Amino acid sequence: MENLVYLDGKWFPKSEAKISVFDHGLLYGDGVFEGIRAYKGNVFKLAEHLDRLWESAHTLMLKIPLAKKEMESVIVQTLKRNGLRDAYIRVVVTRGVGDLGLDPTLCPKATVFIITDKIKLYPESLYRDGLAIVTVPTVRNLPEAVNPSIKSLNYLNNILAKIEAKNAGVMEAVMLNHQGYVAECTGDNIFMVKRGGKAGTKPLVLTPPVYVGALKGITRQAILEICAELKIQSEERIITRHDLFNAHEIFLTGTAAELIPVVKMDGRVIGSGKPGNVTGKLLKAFRARAVRDGVKF
């Protein structure tokens, strides 16, 4: 039996869920989206995801034809109709149907669709053994061009970097900004861990600030909150490739990825070459939080 997809007020089997070829989301990437996770009947950080969706739409002057509470209800209904308690949720709002020109004011109503399904971004072995990544030539979008804080349907910047990663034989890549500072990866935020203090064991968790070109990741924010709960010092700080090469641990965060360790970057072994203790501790705490922090259904 096919999963059902919500589309503009109705549910359709996925093979029948279709949008117009004149939709500006398809023609121009004019729209916004969110990737959300459900864990054991809990939609993790749903309010935060919807806030970010509305912020992205507001910047694009795109009116979402549902209230936030309605959107929340429709997401939960879609999960229930598909009998899914553990799922990946893709919420998409496009500019809607218009003509072949750019003018968004000629699109009278936005299109909304919601897909709920399973996702496995990385094999389980990489959570155990760690990931190898590279730095790619494609730089992150400038905030004064297409601001990376807008989670838009135009992901060509990320896709070009992903192609470069795949060509290098790895699954993920670091993207720098136009100044050469670390921004984020193609689909994940990036963190590093340094150890210091007199005993050389006190960890410091660092991640690039949003203004260098990083998305305001929901999982990223959850990790910063968990660090505070566990009394692990964390900071947003400008990071270079040199800093990453000499980190004791690196890990990536994202809705689909959750938290995944990195053990090699640009041919350099990171730390011991194995996932670190801080990464493991944060992943365990995140998975415990994921089943309780959000909207239960």
110 phi and psi angles, rounded to 5 deg: -70, 155
Q: Cα(60)–Cα(12) distance, rounded to whole angstroms?
A: 28
Output the CA torsion 69→70→73→77 (10° steps): -170
Amino acid at 23: D
Which of 123, 288, 115, 282 has its CA nearest to residue 189?
282
Tell me how many degrees the CA angle 203-226-283 measures, rounded to the nearest 5: 80
Relative to beta strand 258-265, strand 268-269 is antiparallel
Q: Cα(208)–Cα(96) distance, rounded to whole angstroms?
A: 35
Going by the DSSP 8-state scheme, the letter that residue 31 receives in this structure is E
**Catalytic: which of 10, 80, 151, 281?**
151
Is residue 18 annotated as part of the catalytic site, yes or no?
no
Residues catalogued as catalytic: 151
